[in-house]
Amino acid sequence: MLTESILVCISNPIHAEKLIQRGKALAEAFDGECLVLFVSTKAYDEMDFNQLQTKYLFESLAEKYSVPLITRNTDAKNIATAIAETALEKNTTQIVLGQSIQTKVELWTKEPIINNLLSKITGIDIHIVEVTRDFHYESPSYERGINAHLVEENGHYALSFDCLTATNLKGVFFKEQATDFSNGFFVIASPNELKVVRIREGFARMEEVMANTNS
* Cα distance between residue 57 and residue 206, in whole Å: 26
pLDDT at 23: 95
Overall pTM surpassing 0.85 (yes/no): no
**Amino acid found at 88:** L
Q: Does residue 133 have a pLDDT over 60?
A: no
Q: How far apart are CA 34 and CA 50, in angstroms?
A: 27
Task: Set out the domains of the chain in order of their start, with CATH numbers.
Answer: 5-130 (3.40.50.620), 146-213 (no CATH)
Average pLDDT over residues 45-74: 83
Q: What's CA 162's distance to the chain center, in Å?
A: 28
Residue 32 binned pLDDT confidence (cut-offs 50, 70, 90) = very high
Contact 90, 46 (CB under 8 A): no
Query: What residues form DSSP beta bridges with 170?
Result: 149
* Residue 42: pLDDT over 70: yes
Q: Cβ of 54: how many Cβ atoms within 10 Å?
A: 21
Residue 189 has pLDDT above 90, yes or no: no
Provide mean pLDDT across the span 181-202: 75
Task: Give the percent of the chain with pLDDT over 90.
Answer: 26
pLDDT at site 166:
57
Q: What is the DSSP string of 45-102?
A: GG--HHHHHHHHHHHHHHHHTT--EEEEE--GGGHHHHHHHHHHHTT-SEEEEEEPPP
Residue 88 has pLDDT above 70, yes or no: yes
Mean pLDDT of the chain: 79
Type of residue found at 186 = F
Query: Cβ(203)–Cβ(156) under 8 Å?
Result: yes
Which helix (H) or strand (E) is 152 found in, with range? strand 146-153
- Mean pLDDT confidence for 7-21: 90
Q: What is the pLDDT of residue 136?
A: 44
Mean pLDDT, rounded, for 167-189 = 76
